Structure 1
Amino acid sequence: MSEQTKDITVFVVDDHAVVRRGIASFLEFVDDISVIGEAADGQEALEKLDAMHAHGELPDVVLLDLNMPRLDGIQTAAALAERHPAIRTVILTSFTEMERVQAALTHGVSGYVLKDASSDEVEAAIRASQRDEVFLDTAIARRLTQRLVTPSAGLGSLSTREREVLRLVAGGLSNRAIADQLAISERTARTHVSRLLAKLGLSSRTQAALVAVREGLVAP
């Protein structure tokens, strides 16, 4: 790694110490990813991250469990999106229910990975979040894709604003550029992108662009 390359900094939130230690252990062997903090639940995470923010030391990515005491993962993700919108959040959980996935994506989560995933997949989710992309576990992406065959799925399920965002995604715009174009916050733009990907059963911006072309929303 060159001296000019900045490490991706990660904060781990899970109520099981063995999980936190395991994640930190395998990330230690990744040259440009560093774990800079951890917490046992969402409330503790918010308190620690607020303190880190005061010193200009916020992490780039928070790895977040869903089922935790005091403040669960969905509530924590929502609070993070409001208080620290620059942080990317990746859910690392054993829950595969679509309702939980949809709820997470609604709050702008950048990734949803199952705890039985390989270390390479967790690393990939962290890196994807840094590129402002959405990373979904293969099984989750497959189940979301299956929803395309239901009447409520497809472009008809998108709001007018989501269709507009989809056109901009297909045009290659980043979340920041979309926010500037629509005069909204970057966090709101990221939430729109996550939500439309979930509704369409897609796992990447590239797939969304292909759908937009296929459905005639933009020229090929």
Structure 2
Amino acid sequence: MSDLSPAQRHKARVLAERAAADAAPGGVTAGSAYELMLYKLANDRRTLSNIQSMERKIVIKAELLPEYQDWIDGVLSKGQGGQDDVFTSLLVWHIDCGEYDRAVEMARYAVAHKLTLPDQFNRDIPTMLLDEFSAAYLKGKLATDPVAAVEILMRVLQLTDHCDAPDQARAKLLKAAAYAMLAVLDADGNELLPASKLPQAEAVYQLMERALTLFPGVGVKQTMDRLRARIVKTVPG
């Protein structure tokens, strides 16, 4: 659908809006437009299943994602919270492909309406978000721009804060957010903390402290100790 004309794209979005609007909160999305999207997704999954390289799978997913944007826009625009396996599957794909802003936008809708992932994912959406966004930062995919990383990770923390999820998963996202904030704090390369940066340093420490409380094996203790020593030595200015 990425090569559709503007008129065809408009029609595709209208069909998506109708299907999403007709699905009652807590109900199931239905209709011919939804069935076509499910069929397309199944075909695309079959294509991906024939590829062994994870790196190559992500490349293919990134090439396919534009073909689903009209459907996603329709759900976000008119959706009433009906279960939509296409939408939730594509939420995971966006994270896989590094489309983090779009993923957070979709995640907010999915969490607000308590949507679920298809059975093959074996996790609920809040746990998946905690796992995947923490891994994206801690494995370097989201670390290229620390300022943007902080914004995204804090948004995920906020939208999952009220959700039931494993303590270990939440601890890892707290760790990722703390490390991203620390990277911003240390962007000037100065080991000595001026007093003006003390509030940020304390906020980083508190995030790591909470992570450690939730999961003692989260691996932040040495970083916490180093940061506490720097906080103690804070210089005026």
TM-score calculated relative to the size of structure 2:
0.35
Bigger CA radius of gyration? 2
Identify the structure with the greater strand proportion.
1
